[in-house]
Amino acid sequence: METKKCISCCMPMETIERYPNGDTTKTYCVYCARPDGSMKSWDEIVIGYTAHLQESQGIDADEAREQAIAALKKCPAWQDK
């Protein structure tokens, strides 16, 4: 399987577990999907990415949010933000 990158967060989608509900036709990852497989909104993605950065890097909420937004704006789904 060719490695795709999530259009929403740019994470490599290297295994079937990274696809929403195992659906390899999706262009976004499991972390950017709702339980029904639809893609989360900008606000939902920012909240999730901010929480991930806070937890994984131990940075405060404001810095994490700034970093999340800067990173997400580089991804295809959010280039208009």
58-74 confidence digits (pLDDT tens): 999 999 999 999 999 99
Number of domains the chain contains: 1
Query: In sequence order, what are the residues at sequence separation of 6 or more whose Cβ sits closer than 8 angstroms to the Cβ of residue 25?
Result: none
Residue 81 or residue 72, greater confidence: 72
Alpha-carbon dihedral of residues 15, 21, 26, 31, nearest 10 degrees?
-70
Query: Residue 1 pLDDT more than 60?
Result: no
Average pLDDT of the residues in 33-51: 96
Query: Residue 2 pLDDT more than 70?
Result: no
Domain with 24 in it: 4-78
Residue 25: C-alpha distances to residues 21, 52, 60 (Å): 11, 25, 36
SS3 category, 39: strand
Please state whether the predicted TM-score (pTM) of the whole model is above 0.85.
yes
Query: Residue 54 pLDDT more than 90?
Result: yes
